């Protein structure tokens, strides 16, 4: 005979305090677990959203990031002649030669000596055309040929001296802020943009950091990549799909967050499993006569084991649900940290997916199973006569 599932449901509420405390412990562990996965996924979403399916990015072969890349002016001119590049209404290739540098700025309310790195991106006129997610929200676009800047919304929200009309001093110049832009959830929101030529002059640079091109057709990528390998003038460079490049950029930071968070979660999960085990052992101790009666009525040992194990799984499932609800609220939060690939500030949010929800619930059930198995096994092994005599 099988014990009805309703028996396990009703049994949970006979020990309201211990059940509640165990659910709370599981919920907190699940919250941390889900938040870590959401954070790592948020990093990936932010950086992948920075790229476009229609764009390719050119870097030096040995460079893993734009800040470490060098592309000579001559190589840039050769790249611009490739027939795989789309052309604009003016008949010129749709490409942006860009230079990246890092400056120090102070966050709102930070110690004057506690500065953070911020990426300054010098772009060509087509830089905005190739990044449709970038929209001016206040002020105006900077004038090419001038020492003017536009500020990403995440930088404007977090750093001092970034208001329209204010100036930032770096590379021996005063740079006037003329606009703020929104870049959605992409990494460009954590950039400062200006004219590439002015930034090259100010920093006395003799090379670009990267070149972004719009392909005539997505299928032209393979042909373009083959040309880079075969042309001796370009074979020290590499061309990547822009989305693939930014996805790879997310791996270092995402893996760091994921590993650190999982280590903390595993430590916390031991506490939650011990809590579930204590709760279930207490249930067995308080219901010895009840267990003996069930056995005397003909319920088999495996039915008793299953009933108590289901109770533990229900506790963990409820706790997992509560933890997930709390974690999902983190999707409204945006945080910032240092991107290890560029060593500059990047802002990103928590991103939840169906896979994270499923994985988190499985994790909660595993905690419930591990924490509840031994007490359930003990309940199933109780001797009928001794259990009834304990009354």
**Spatial CA neighbour of 178 closest among 168, 191, 166:** 166
Structural domain ending residue among the three candidates 171, 205, 235: 235
Q: Nearest CA to 240 among 66, 34, 26?
A: 66
Judge if 206 and 343 occupy the same domain. no
Higher confidence at residue 270 or residue 138?
A: 138
Residue 244 lies in a domain: no
Residue 53 is assigned to a structural domain of this protein: no
CA pair distance 359, 373, nearest whole angstrom: 21
Residue 131 has φ and ψ, to the nearest 5°, of -125, 75
Residues 67 and 186 in one domain: yes
Beta-carbon contacts of 301 under 8 Å, excluding residues fewer than 6 positions away, are 295, 380, 381
pLDDT band at 136 (very low <50, low <70, confident <90, very high): very high
Report the distance separating Cα 364 and Cα 275, nearest Å.
Answer: 13
Q: What is the pLDDT of residue 193?
A: 96
Q: Are residues 214 and 308 in the same domain?
A: no
pLDDT digit string, tens, across residues 82-122: 999 998 888 889 999 999 999 999 888 777 777 888 999 99
* Boundaries of domain holding 13: 5-48+249-389
> Which of residues 235, 264, 285 is at a domain's end?
235
Q: Evaluate whether residue 242 is within a structural domain.
A: no
Q: Which pLDDT band holds residue 333 (cuts at 50, 70, 90)? A: confident
Question: According to the model, what pLDDT value does residue 76 have?
Answer: 92
Residue 358 covered by a domain: yes
Mean pLDDT in residue range 238-258: 80
191 and 262 in a single domain? The answer is: no
Q: Mean pLDDT in the chain?
A: 83
Pair (40, 105) in one structural domain: no
Q: How many domains does the chain have?
A: 2
Q: 118 pairs with which residues across the strands?
A: 103
Residue that terminates a domain, selected from 187, 203, 235: 235
pLDDT-based confidence at residue 21 (cuts at 50, 70, 90): confident
30-74 confidence digits (pLDDT tens): 898 888 888 888 877 777 667 777 889 999 998 888 888 999 999
Task: Give the predicted TM-score (pTM) of the model.
Answer: 0.76
pLDDT, tens digit, 9 for 90 and up, residues 368-387:
888 877 777 776 666 665 55
Residues 67 and 141 in one domain: yes
Residues 108 and 224 in one domain: yes
The reported pLDDT for the residue numbered 276 is 72
Residues 33 and 97 in one domain: no
Is 241 part of any domain?
no
- Please indicate, yes or no, whether residues 67 and 174 belong to a single structural domain of this protein: yes
Highest mean pLDDT among 22-36, 154-168, 299-313: 154-168
Rounded percentage of the chain residues whose pLDDT exceeds 90: 30
Report percent pLDDT > 70 for the chain: 84
Structural domain includes residue 57: no
* Position 357 confidence tier, pLDDT thresholds 50, 70, 90: very high
In a domain, 54, yes or no: no
Mark whether 195 and 326 lie in a shared domain: no
Question: Given a cut of 80, is residue 366 above it in pLDDT?
Answer: yes
- 317-343 average pLDDT score: 80
* Same-domain status, 218 and 90: yes
Quote the pLDDT of residue 185. Answer: 80
Confidence band, pLDDT 50/70/90 cuts, at residue 168: very high
Residue 145 has pLDDT above 60, yes or no: yes
User: Does position 388 have pLDDT exceeding 60, yes or no?
Assistant: no
- Is 243 inside a domain boundary? no
141/220 same-domain check = yes
């Amino acid at each position: 005979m099988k014990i009805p599932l309703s028996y396990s449901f009703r049994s949970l509420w006979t020990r309201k305090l211990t059940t509640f405390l165990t659910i709370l412990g599981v919920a907190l562990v699940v919250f941390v677990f889900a938040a870590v996965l959401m954070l790592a996924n948020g990093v990936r979403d932010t950086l992948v959203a920075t790229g476009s399916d229609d764009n390719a990015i050119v870097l030096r072969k040995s460079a893993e990031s734009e800040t470490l890349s060098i592309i000579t002016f001559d190589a840039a001119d050769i790249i611009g002649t490739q027939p795989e590049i789309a052309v604009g209404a003016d008949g010129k290739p749709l490409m942006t030669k860009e230079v990246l540098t890092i400056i120090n700025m102070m966050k709102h309310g930070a110690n004057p000596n506690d500065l953070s790195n911020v990426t300054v991106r010098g772009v060509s006129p087509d830089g905005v055309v190739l990044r449709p997610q970038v929209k001016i929200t206040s002020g105006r676009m900077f004038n090419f040929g001038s020492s003017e800047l536009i500020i990403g919304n995440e930088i404007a929200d977090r750093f001092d001296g970034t208001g329209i009309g204010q100036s930032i001093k770096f590379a021996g110049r005063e740079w006037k802020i003329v606009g703020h832009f929104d870049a959605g959830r992409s990494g460009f929101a954590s950039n400062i943009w200006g004219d590439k030529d002015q930034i090259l002059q100010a920093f006395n640079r003799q090379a670009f950091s990267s070149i972004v091109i719009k392909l005539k057709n997505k299928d032209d990528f393979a042909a373009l990549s083959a040309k880079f390998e075969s042309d001796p003038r370009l074979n020290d460079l590499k061309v990547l799909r822009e989305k693939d490049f930014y996805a790879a950029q997310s791996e270092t930071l995402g893996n760091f967050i994921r590993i650190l968070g999982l280590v903390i979660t595993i430590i916390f999960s031991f506490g939650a499993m011990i809590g579930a085990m204590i709760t279930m052992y207490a249930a067995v101790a308080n219901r010895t006569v009840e267990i003996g009666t069930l056995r005397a009525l003909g319920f088999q040992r495996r039915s008793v084991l299953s009933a108590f194990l289901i109770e533990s799984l229900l506790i963990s499932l409820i706790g997992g649900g509560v933890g997930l609800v709390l974690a999902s609220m983190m999707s409204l939060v945006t945080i910032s940290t240092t991107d290890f690939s560029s060593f500059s500030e990047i802002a990103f949010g928590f991103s939840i997916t169906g896979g994270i929800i499923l994985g988190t619930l499985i994790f909660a059930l595993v905690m419930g199973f591990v924490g509840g198995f031994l007490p359930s096994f003990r309940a199933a092994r109780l001797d009928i006569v001794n259990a009834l005599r304990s009354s």
